[in-house]
Chains A and B, each alone.
Chain A
Amino acid sequence: MRIHFWGVRGSIPAPGPETNRYGGNTSCVSITTKADALFIVDMGTGVVPLGGSLLPQGFGKGQGSATIFLSHAHWDHIQGFPFFAPIFIPGNTFHVYGNARSSSMLEGILEGQMNPHFSPIYTLKNLGANIEFHGVTVGETFAVDGVTVCARANPHGSTTSLAYRFEEDGRSFVYASDAGYPEGDGPSPEMLELYRGADVMLHDCTYAPEDQETRRNRGFSSFTEAAAAAVAAGVGKLVMSHYDQDYADDFVDECKVRCRAELDRLGGADIELVAAAEGLELDV
Chain B
Amino acid sequence: MKVRFWGVRGSIPVPGPQTNRYGGNTSCVEVLPRRGDPIIIDAGTGIRRLGQDLMKNACGEGKGTAHLLISHTHWDHIQGLPFFHPLYKAGNDIKMYARQRDDTHLKAVFASQTEHLYFPVPLAALKAQVEFRELVEGQRFDIGGARISCTRLNHPWIAMAYRVDVDGASVVYASDTAPFTDILLEHEFIAKPPEPGAPLRPEDKAKLDDMRAGLIELSRSADLLIYDTQFTADEYRVRPHWGHSTPDDALSIARAAKVGTLCLYHHAPARADDAQDVILADCRRVVAEASDGFDVIAAYEGLEVELGEQP
The interface stretch among B18-26, B193-201, B214-222, B249-257 is B18-26
Residue A248 lies at the interface, judged by CB distance under 8 Å to chain B: no
Complex: A118 Cα to B109 Cα, angstroms: 9
The interface stretch among A10-18, A184-192, A200-208, A233-241 is A10-18
Chain B hits for A75, CB < 8 A: 79, 82, 118-119
Complex: A24 Cα to B13 Cα, angstroms: 9
Do A118 and B113 touch (CB < 8 A)? yes
Most B CB contacts (10 A, CB to CB) among A16, A74, A112 go to A16
Do B80 and A45 touch (CB < 8 A)? no
Given A16-B24, A116-B156; A79-B12 close (CB under 8 Å) = yes
Closest residue of A by beta carbon distance from B188 = A122
Do A112 and B112 touch (CB < 8 A)? yes
Residue B62 lies at the interface, judged by CB distance under 8 Å to chain A: no
Do B101 and A117 touch (CB < 8 A)? yes
Residue A92 lies at the interface, judged by CB distance under 8 Å to chain B: no
Chain A residues 1-46 with CB under 8 Å of chain B are 9, 11-17, 19-20, 23-25, 45
A102 CB to closest chain B CB, in angstroms? 14
Chain B hits for A11, CB < 8 A: 83
Residue of B23, B75, B109 near A15 (CB, 8 A) is B23
Chain B hits for A109, CB < 8 A: 117-118
B 70-94 binary contact with A (CB < 8 Å = 1; else 0): 0001110011101100000000000
Chain B hits for A12, CB < 8 A: 13, 45, 48, 79-80, 83
Given A12-B48, A48-B269; A120-B157 close (CB under 8 Å) = yes
Chain B hits for A120, CB < 8 A: 74, 156-157, 242-243
Do B23 and A118 touch (CB < 8 A)? no
Complex: A12 Cα to B12 Cα, angstroms: 11
Closest residue of A by beta carbon distance from B83 = A12
B286 CB to closest chain A CB, in angstroms? 29
Do B15 and A117 touch (CB < 8 A)? no
Do A73 and B12 touch (CB < 8 A)? no
Do B117 and A159 touch (CB < 8 A)? yes
B224 CB to closest chain A CB, in angstroms? 24
Do A15 and B24 touch (CB < 8 A)? yes
Residue A245 lies at the interface, judged by CB distance under 8 Å to chain B: yes
Residue A53 lies at the interface, judged by CB distance under 8 Å to chain B: no
Interface size class of A (residues with CB under 8 A): 35 or more
Do A13 and B116 touch (CB < 8 A)? no
Residue B290 lies at the interface, judged by CB distance under 8 Å to chain A: no
B 111-130 binary contact with A (CB < 8 Å = 1; else 0): 01101111110000000000
Complex: A118 Cα to B113 Cα, angstroms: 9
Residue of B15, B112, B187 near A25 (CB, 8 A) is B15
Given A74-B119, A75-B79, A157-B120; A116-B12 close (CB under 8 Å) = no
A74 CB to closest chain B CB, in angstroms? 6
A-B contact count (CB 8 A): 114
Do B15 and A245 touch (CB < 8 A)? no
Do A118 and B119 touch (CB < 8 A)? no
Chain A residues 61-109 with CB under 8 Å of chain B are 73-75, 78-80, 82-83, 109
Chain B residues 35-83 with CB under 8 Å of chain A are 45, 48, 73-75, 78-80, 82-83
Residue B16 lies at the interface, judged by CB distance under 8 Å to chain A: yes
Closest residue of A by beta carbon distance from B113 = A118
Chain A hits for B187, CB < 8 A: 116
Do A117 and B157 touch (CB < 8 A)? yes
Chain A hits for B11, CB < 8 A: 83
Residue of B45, B157, B242 near A116 (CB, 8 A) is B157
Do A15 and B117 touch (CB < 8 A)? no
Complex: A113 Cα to B269 Cα, angstroms: 19
A223 CB to closest chain B CB, in angstroms? 21
Do A79 and B14 touch (CB < 8 A)? no
Do A83 and B20 touch (CB < 8 A)? no
A158 CB to closest chain B CB, in angstroms? 5
A 242-281 binary contact with B (CB < 8 Å = 1; else 0): 0001000000000000000000000000000000001000
Q: List 12 A-B contacts (CB under 8 A).
A: A15-B23, A25-B16, A48-B14, A74-B120, A75-B79, A75-B119, A109-B117, A112-B115, A120-B157, A120-B243, A126-B189, A159-B116
Lowest 10 A-B CB distances belong to which pairs? A24-B15, A15-B24, A13-B13, A15-B15, A120-B156, A157-B120, A122-B189, A17-B20, A83-B12, A117-B109
Known: A15-B19, A83-B11. 7 other contacts (CB 8 A): A45-B15, A112-B117, A117-B157, A118-B78, A120-B156, A120-B243, A158-B120
